[in-house]
């Protein structure tokens, strides 16, 4: 399906934020591993939970982008700020 200009922008934005979340989750997991190795288990667990949330949100944003691409979700335009 062909996307209009606002839909293309929205799809690109969704994918960009999803990519940022993926990168952030990877970084958090690396920090969590270092914290575990230093004995800060509670802090490591908290970071792992945050990374899991980021990964779920990444998946959801990618699903929205796919739905937009497949025509299951439409965007009429971007609202202008007041």
Give the domain ranges of the chain: 25-71
pLDDT digits (tens, 9 = 90+) for 18-75: 999 999 999 999 999 999 999 999 999 999 999 999 999 999 999 999 999 998 988 7
DSSP per-residue codes, 51-64: HHHHHHHHHHHHHH
Task: Kindly indicate the confidence band of residue 1, based on its pLDDT and cuts at 50, 70 and 90.
Answer: low
Contact 70, 12 (CB under 8 A): no
Identify the helix (H) or strand (E) that includes residue 3.
none
DSSP per-residue codes, 26-47: HHHHHHHHHHHHTT-HHHHHHH
Q: Which of 26, 73, 35 is nearest to 54 (CA)?
A: 26
Q: What is the pLDDT of residue 62?
A: 96
Distance CA 2, CA 26 (A): 33
pTM score of the predicted model: 0.82
Q: What is the pLDDT of residue 65?
A: 93
């Amino acid at each position: 399906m062909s996307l209009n200009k606002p839909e293309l922008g929205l799809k690109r934005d969704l994918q960009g934020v999803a990519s940022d979340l993926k990168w952030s989750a990877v970084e958090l997991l690396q920090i969590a591993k270092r914290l575990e190795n230093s004995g800060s288990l509670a802090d490591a667990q908290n970071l792992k939970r945050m990374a899991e949330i980021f990964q779920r949100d990444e998946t959801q944003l990618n699903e929205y982008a796919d739905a937009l691409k497949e025509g299951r979700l439409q965007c009429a335009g971007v609202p202008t700020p007041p």
